[in-house]
Amino acid sequence: MILEAALYKEEIVLCSTSQQFYDHLRSGFIDIRKLIANNTVTPGFLAMSFLLAWIDFLRADFNSFAHHIEGVISALRSYKTALNGKPFPATISYLAMLCCMSDSCIGFFGDKQRFPADLIPRNHDWLNIYVHKDEIPRALLWFRRSEWMRIIANFKRWAQAQRAAAGPENSFVEEAIAGQGDAIMADIVAWGERSIPKYEEVGSPDEHTLVPHGKNKHCSDFQPAMTTCTLDPHKFLNFPRAQFQNKTHNEMTLMYIGLLLLVSYSSHPQAGPLPYSRWELAVKYCQCFAAYRVPDEMDPINRILHLFYARLTFDDSFRQGIIHVACISNSV
């Protein structure tokens, strides 16, 4: 993508610092109105504009991202018109999918979703050209995850609107929101069971890892275990080690569990382990996260967004979970 962008603005490959790289991208972005007006948008300009928005996304700079992603969308529309019905080249298809993914992720935080459905490539045959064959399953899961995140972000915005209209703690509204959330969860579970092989758990949890007080299934009061982050780095506390077929299988599972966490926080937008199913999801997520051998190679949404919500689930009643999440996140 950088080499493609350099075809439009050569200076970006001559930078000595990341800030210089970003500044050159931003100076090139100024040309957008002229290029769209003259119908002369090129793949190089699109790649350069995408890199600018992608950096904003990784920095969680929402305002800059909104500005630059709208520019990318306008440039993509102009470029699509110039193609006269021909499909996007492989690089631009990949760029469009990444834009959609980042936009849906930002949308979960309450911003509006900007990327239009008509610019999302539906045929992924180009992956055979652009992506190594061993990475194709992972890429397809990324794309499907992006579609789920668009659905979840829309559900979250709808739930917020319902709560704003009805007032706080309206039982009928909360029941309707929970029902809709359960339906989305059921769809994601059905997709996950069809698409992602089950992983194995090796060993059994230490009997002192958690001791819930009382029989209420929504109970969050757990007796802390005497564990620290000096344990096996590929296990989460004393829970069983998660074992996967390969790195892609591990990451697919993280995507799947992470999506379920996002639905839970959209249905029940408060920090903590309730409902209890959320606590179970967070533990499973951390088991799978700990099993990932090279965290630096992990998808950024798994590494940052989903892990954040897993951490948000553990409260003072499960302090050892908070400590261990801090350990595994600092190892990234």
Tens of pLDDT, residue by residue over 217-248, are 333 344 444 444 445 778 888 889 999 999 88
Distance between CA atoms of residues 80 and 74, nearest Å? 10
In the predicted model, is pLDDT for residue 34 greater than 90? yes
Distance between CA atoms of residues 116 and 249, nearest Å? 30
> What average pLDDT score do residues 70-75 get?
96
Distance between CA atoms of residues 120 and 90, nearest Å? 13
> What average pLDDT score do residues 34-51 get?
95
Range among 113-127, 152-166, 316-330 with highest mean pLDDT value:
152-166
> What average pLDDT score do residues 1-18 get?
89
pTM comes to 0.79
> What average pLDDT score do residues 38-51 get?
95
> What average pLDDT score do residues 68-88 get?
94
Q: What pLDDT is recorded for position 316?
A: 72
Q: Which of 179-188, 252-261, 296-305 has the lowest mean pLDDT?
A: 296-305
Burial class (CB in 10 A: 0-12, 13-18, 19+), 31: middle
pLDDT tens-digit profile of 252-281? 999 999 999 999 999 999 998 889 999 999
Q: Please state whether 237 falls in left (phi above 0), alpha (psi between -120 and 50) or beta.
A: left
In the predicted model, is pLDDT for residue 315 greater than 80? no
Q: What pLDDT is recorded for position 296?
A: 78
Read off the pLDDT band of 330 (50, 70, 90): low
Distance between CA atoms of residues 21 and 31, nearest Å? 17
Q: What pLDDT is recorded for position 283?
A: 93
Among residues of the chain, what percentage have pLDDT more than 90?
50
Residue linked to tokens 């994601």: 188
The answer to whether residues 242 and 288 touch, using CB atoms and an 8 Å cutoff, is yes
The answer to whether residues 26 and 14 touch, using CB atoms and an 8 Å cutoff, is no
**Segments of 171-248 assigned E as strands:** 200-202, 241-243
Instruction: Identify the helix (H) or strand (E) that includes residue 62.
Output: helix 62-82
Q: What pLDDT is recorded for position 183?
A: 97
